[in-house]
Amino acid sequence: MQRRLEGLFLAAFINRNFALMWWGQAISSIGDYAWDTALVLWIASYLAAGQSWAPLAVSGVVLAAALPQIVVGPIAGVFVDRWDKRRTMIIMAMLQAIVATMLVLAALNIRFPFVGSEQFQNFWRIVAVYIDVVALTIFAQFFIPAQFALIKDIVPEQKQDQALETSQAIQGLSIIIGPPVAAALVFGLGVAWALVLDACSFMIVLFAIFAIQAPPSAHSLAPGEAGHFSREFLDGLGYVINHRILRTILVAEVLTWLGFGALQSLGYFFITENLHAPASDYGLFGADFGVGAIVGALLVTFIGQRIGLDWLLWVSLITSGLFVILMSHVSNFPIALAAAFLFGVSTTAIIVTAGPLALHGTSREYVGRVMAVINPIGRLAALVSVVLAGYFVSTVLQGFHANLLGITFGPIDTVFTFMGLLAIAGGLYARISLRSIAEESLPAPAESDQDNVQGHVNQSQHAS
């Protein structure tokens, strides 16, 4: 019986090192979603309650999390490739735990000295939230690529796809567990307890990484060699652009986040104006998408290797486009809910599929820079989508109504339809680009750059 349980454990978690990483990531992800929810509830329900600028204050949290991903992410990738991955994760988790704990102090209703009214007290607490979110996001830009690269060190190559798919499955579960737990803590025990939950999650991650035993990481610099940031960064950017698989993944990620950003920006108005449902039903769409995310991650885990990750990528792109178009043109709430669920399945399948494909196609000394190109550009696409969707619906498409082939188009469903068509076009592009994926090999540097790249790679540490 014990051997059977051990066999099931190894089948699910591959080995001890990955099991430690997985459980640490699971607890951290739940804490992160609880943290995000707690901050929004704290600002909207307490710090800015009743103020005309409350929506702007809540939007500031989103902006504080997005900008470091776009600005710091590409820079962090260069240094992650230089440094030891496990040590980088330990340092960043330690810094995150410290910063997260500092915000707990601001939530204990301790009055700031030399600050008069309660309104100004709350204003400085909001500023503290923004600073904290910026700092945590900056540290995450080093932690996440290092974690991605560490998988290459602690998981056998034939199991790396399974490792990434299993890791991504955590996100859907975290979306379902984290926000309700945070809401219960904020309104039941106080916001400080919700923030303590996330601070503790960083400590658990720290202990888990300490327990991992990993071989020496690959480095982009040979021992004793001086770094050259711009050259290393451009090497990483060129690596993505010249690699057919990575370039296709980049396009897929951008199109996915374009659609997801528009849905985030206009989801509330779609439910209340297009579906004529009460605002309270908005929460159902979030939970519905979270369940779809779990199903999408499990779908990739169980059938991805059987049917091919390349095939699953382009099919998921096309189906995500079809589902969002379907959702945008229905007026029945249950049908729209079903379409949103299927949209969650397909978009999560895109993201989960992209990870193993990117890891498989990336040399160890380039992993940090590859992730630092793909991830920030995807987040930038989401931010652009949020801004443009809100702008067009509020200005250019305001009052717009048209009829095409018996289908009625209004401002919101027009934006959703356009995003869906982009996803379908991206799926067709991925189908053509990845037609010969089995023949894809790692891109060799151009002859003119060969000497420069050779100097960056520590060949003695390139083998796993």
Q: What is the pLDDT of residues 178-220, one digit of tens each?
A: 777 887 888 888 888 888 888 888 899 999 999 998 888 777 7
CA atoms within 13 A on the CB side of 352: 33
Amino acid identity, residue 286? G
Do 282 and 191 share a structural domain?
no
* pLDDT (0 to 100) of residue 404: 77
Amino acid identity, residue 327? M
Q: Does residue 49 surpass a pLDDT of 60? A: yes
Query: Residue 99 in 3-state DSSP?
Result: helix
Average pLDDT over residues 49-56: 74
- Rounded to the nearest 10 degrees, the angle between the axes of helix 333-360 and helix 160-188 is 130
Q: Does residue 109 surpass a pLDDT of 70? A: no
Do 297 and 204 share a structural domain?
no
Distances (CA, A) of 374 to 228, 314, 433: 21, 17, 17
* pLDDT (0 to 100) of residue 172: 63
Q: Does residue 4 surpass a pLDDT of 60? A: no
Q: Are 27 and 37 spatial neighbours (Cβ–Cβ below 8 Å)?
A: no
Do 36 and 87 share a structural domain?
yes
| pLDDT band, residue 463 (cuts 50/70/90) | very low
Average pLDDT over residues 133-146: 91
| Percentage with pLDDT > 70 across the chain | 83
Final residue belonging to a domain, choices 161, 179, 213: 213
| Percentage with pLDDT > 90 across the chain | 8
Q: Choose between 332 and 227: higher pLDDT.
A: 332
- Residue 404 is given by DSSP the state E
* pLDDT (0 to 100) of residue 171: 67
- Residue 405 is given by DSSP the state T
- Residue 157 is given by DSSP the state G
Q: Are 5 and 153 spatial neighbours (Cβ–Cβ below 8 Å)?
A: no
Q: Does residue 116 surpass a pLDDT of 60? A: no
Q: Are 347 and 159 spatial neighbours (Cβ–Cβ below 8 Å)?
A: no
The least confident of 169-173, 183-187, 341-345, 421-425 is 169-173
Number of domains the chain contains: 2
Domain span at residue 208 reads: 16-213
Q: Give a yes or no: residue 161 inside a domain.
A: yes
Query: What is the C-alpha separation between 30 and 42, in angstroms, rounded?
Result: 18
Q: Give a yes or no: residue 10 inside a domain.
A: no
Final residue belonging to a domain, choices 162, 186, 213: 213
Query: Pick from 51, 48, 59: which is nearest to 122 by CA?
Result: 48
| pLDDT band, residue 97 (cuts 50/70/90) | very high
Sign for the CA dihedral angle at 269, 324, 421, 297 comes to positive
Do 174 and 261 share a structural domain?
no
Contacts of 78 (CB under 8 A, 6+ apart): 220, 227, 229, 232, 233, 236, 368, 369, 372
Q: Give a yes or no: residue 455 inside a domain.
A: no
Q: Give a yes or no: residue 376 inside a domain.
A: yes
Characterize 58-78 residue by residue with b for buried, 16 or more Cβ atoms within 10 angstroms of its Cβ, and e for exposed.
bebbbebbbbbbbebbbbbbb
Max CA pair span of the chain = 69
Query: What is the C-alpha separation between 335 and 352, in angstroms, rounded?
Result: 26
Query: Which range in 89-93, 116-120, 183-187, 362-366 is most confidently predicted, on average pLDDT?
Result: 89-93
| pLDDT band, residue 452 (cuts 50/70/90) | very low
Final residue belonging to a domain, choices 213, 241, 274: 213
Do 267 and 157 share a structural domain?
no
| pLDDT band, residue 318 (cuts 50/70/90) | very high
Q: Does residue 131 surpass a pLDDT of 90? A: yes
Beta bridge partner(s), residue 409: 402
Q: Choose between 439 and 91: higher pLDDT.
A: 91
Q: Give a yes or no: residue 326 inside a domain.
A: yes
Q: Does residue 22 surpass a pLDDT of 60? A: yes
The H or E element containing residue 421 is helix 411-433
Q: Are 353 and 168 spatial neighbours (Cβ–Cβ below 8 Å)?
A: no
Sign for the CA dihedral angle at 269, 275, 276, 279 comes to negative
What is the rounded average pLDDT for all residues in the chain?
78
Query: What is the C-alpha separation between 346 and 184, in angstroms, rounded?
Result: 30
Average pLDDT over residues 347-375: 81
Q: Give a yes or no: residue 448 inside a domain.
A: no
Query: What is the C-alpha separation between 309 and 460, in angstroms, rounded?
Result: 31
The least confident of 19-28, 50-59, 339-348, 385-394 is 50-59
Query: Which range in 115-129, 156-170, 371-385, 434-448 is most confidently predicted, on average pLDDT?
Result: 371-385
Query: Pick from 25, 94, 35, 24: which is nearest to 61 by CA?
Result: 35
Q: Does residue 313 surpass a pLDDT of 60? A: yes
Q: Give a yes or no: residue 443 inside a domain.
A: no
Do 261 and 192 share a structural domain?
no
Q: Choose between 453 and 354: higher pLDDT.
A: 354
* pLDDT (0 to 100) of residue 119: 62
Distances (CA, A) of 92 to 97, 134, 298, 386, 427: 9, 14, 29, 29, 36
Angle (nearest 5°) at CA 167 between 82 and 39: 85
| pLDDT band, residue 413 (cuts 50/70/90) | confident
Do 194 and 245 share a structural domain?
no
* pLDDT (0 to 100) of residue 337: 86
- CATH number (domain holding residue 343): 1.20.1250.20
Do 32 and 118 share a structural domain?
yes
Do 123 and 187 share a structural domain?
yes
Query: What is the C-alpha separation between 170 and 293, in angstroms, rounded?
Result: 9
Do 208 and 258 share a structural domain?
no
Contacts of 253 (CB under 8 A, 6+ apart): 350, 351, 354, 374, 375, 377, 378, 381
- Residue 112 is given by DSSP the state P
Q: Does residue 441 surpass a pLDDT of 70? A: no
Q: Choose between 436 and 128: higher pLDDT.
A: 128
Query: Pick from 240, 239, 237, 238: which is nearest to 249 by CA?
Result: 240
Do 202 and 319 share a structural domain?
no
Using the structure block, give the residue that is written with the tokens 């409350």.
Answer: 54
Q: Give a yes or no: residue 246 inside a domain.
A: yes
Distances (CA, A) of 429 to 280, 309, 336: 39, 15, 28
Query: What is the C-alpha separation between 143 and 141, in angstroms, rounded?
Result: 6
Average pLDDT over residues 295-324: 83
Do 234 and 331 share a structural domain?
yes
Instruction: List the structure tokens of 122.
Output: 């709350």
Q: Choose between 144 and 448: higher pLDDT.
A: 144
Query: What is the C-alpha separation between 353 and 312, in angstroms, rounded?
Result: 7
Per-residue pLDDT tens digits for 211-258? 998 888 777 766 667 677 788 888 888 888 888 888 888 888 888 788
